[in-house]
């Protein structure tokens, strides 16, 4: 049993990781990492996943539309899966967590389907910024509010509570 706050649910239905980020980890770890090695069910190529904006919509293949909600927060299960000492800390320090997405228009995805940006919001809240705000730089939390309801509900709650307590 897992907590949907951190694993799955509508706002974390799909986890995407850039092949380029996996390649960087391969070099650092000295071992190969296949597509899906980080538990992602969508491995992209040529798309800056951690640079995607919260609320950005991706069309995958002919019919599927996904919306970026937040970055992946590493946990001990992830560390155990990779069998790397200090993994949670290393992954967090890198600041390229990949993205969780909600499904806007369901359908079938096949290997090799193109991924294109169908909509990019007019704000600067990226997955990487959101990740830093909820992990290592909490003073960034107020900046997340411009992403509004597109943001994962837990991150939105954290941002609102921070503003209530500390101001913008």
pLDDT digits (tens, 9 = 90+) for 63-115: 999 999 999 999 888 989 899 999 999 999 999 999 999 999 999 999 999 99
Instruction: Report the predicted TM-score, pTM, of the whole model to 2 decimal places.
Output: 0.93
Average pLDDT, the chain: 94
**Mean pLDDT score, 111-136:** 97
Q: What is the rounded CA–CA span in Å between residue 38 and residue 36?
A: 5
What confidence score (pLDDT) does residue 167 get?
Answer: 85
Predicted confidence (pLDDT) at residue 2 exceeds the cutoff of 50: no
Predicted confidence (pLDDT) at residue 139 exceeds the cutoff of 90: yes
Domains of the chain, CATH where assigned: 10-124 (2.40.33.20)
């Amino acid at each position: 049993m897992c907590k949907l706050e951190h694993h799955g649910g509508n706002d974390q239905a799909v986890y995407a990781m850039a092949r380029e980020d996996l390649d960087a980890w391969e070099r650092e770890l000295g071992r190969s990492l296949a597509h899906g090695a980080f538990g992602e069910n969508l491995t992209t190529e040529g798309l800056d996943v951690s640079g995607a904006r919260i609320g950005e919509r991706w069309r995958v293949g002919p019919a599927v539309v996904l919306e970026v909600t937040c970055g992946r927060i590493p946990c001990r299960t992830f560390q155990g899966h990779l069998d790397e000492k200090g993994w949670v800390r290393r992954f967090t320090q890198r600041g390229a967590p990949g993205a969780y997405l909600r499904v806007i228009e369901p359908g079938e995805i096949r290997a090799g389907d193109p991924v294109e940006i169908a909509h990019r919001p007019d704000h600067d809240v990226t997955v990487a910024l959101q990740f830093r705000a909820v992990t290592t730089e909490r003073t960034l939390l107020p900046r997340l509010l411009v992403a509004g309801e597109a943001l994962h509900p837990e991150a939105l709650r954290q941002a609102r509570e921070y503003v209530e307590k500390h101001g913008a």
